[in-house]
Amino acid sequence: MKIKRQKQAKKSISFYKYNFSFREPFQILLDGTFCQAALKNKIQIKEQLPKYLMGEVQLCTTSCALKELEVLGKQLYGAKIILQRFQVRKCPHVKDPVSASECFLSMLQETNPQHYFIATQDHTLTSGLKKIPGVPLLYIVLNTIVLDKASPASLQHVQDVQLGALVSVSQQQSISSLKEQQGLGRTDAERRGRKRKRKQSNPNPLSCLKKKKKKKGGPTAPLRKTEEGEKKKRSRHKRRRTEAENKMAASTS
């Protein structure tokens, strides 16, 4: 019987690992009803849960679950002592506590994004959790811890993903990361809001030249025009004789 339960648990864990991206250490949310059942059946939660799930676990609860045990009084004092040993996760009901079942449902939202296991004996809570896909349920039966089979909502979700009607959680995360890298996730307003800074360019070198100063004094004299009939003097440039021409002149004389 023990080997059969272990095989069933292994099959269920692999289902949640493959389809809903569950990874170790497994996060397990416990309430007071589960701790009370473990106390009655003499089950060591810290020792038996890692063995049963075949991996590391993080046992945790919420402030609402602890507050609920305080209100119920001395009957659940032992369960309260056990629950206080685990990590307390933040919930949105710090100022106004609610019941543990309502708190757990709000923590899981619609898709269980934090990948919580839920350990409870509350039937009203389990009926509500089975409507959420990807929520593994743990409870105690006949002195043993049992991991429940996948709910119809989880099986339907996996079938829709396989048919292409939905996108799995791991695919959504990879798509969102790719969009952020490419800048596609930003809205048009965010894109328009960011203006590019103009680079400081060097000034035009021609604009840095000093302006020429005008000479002080009267108006400049007009250019002298040549009178009509007056001939322009030609400027003659004497050409130097070459050595050959000098020899020719000496021989003729």
Q: How would you classify residue 225: left for phi > 0, otherwise alpha for psi between -120 and 50, otherwise beta?
A: beta
Token code pair at residue 85: 């040993």
Asked if residues 97 and 70 have their Cβ atoms less than 8 Å apart, the reply is no
Output the CATH code of domain 1-150: 3.40.50.1010
| pTM of the shown model | 0.66
- Single out the residue of 105, 107, 113, 162 nearest to residue 131, CA to CA: 105
Decide if pLDDT at 169 tops 60: no
What is the structure's pLDDT at 95? 84
Instruction: Report the amino acid identity of residue 30.
Output: L
Of 33-47, 160-174, 228-242, the poorest mean pLDDT is in 228-242
pLDDT in tens, 139-157: 999 889 999 999 999 999 9
What is the structure's pLDDT at 135? 96
Q: What distances in angstroms separate CA 232 from CA 34, 225, 226, 237, 239, one per listed residue?
A: 127, 11, 8, 16, 21
What is the structure's pLDDT at 74? 85
Arithmetic mean of pLDDT, 59-69 = 94
What is the structure's pLDDT at 130? 94
Decide if pLDDT at 211 tops 90: no
Arithmetic mean of pLDDT, 226-240 = 54
Q: Which residue has the higher pLDDT, 41 or 246?
A: 41
Q: Write the secondary structure of 154-184 as one string of H (helix), E (strand) and C (coil).
A: HHHHHHHHHHCCCCCHHHHHHHHHHHHHHCC
Decide if pLDDT at 235 tops 60: no
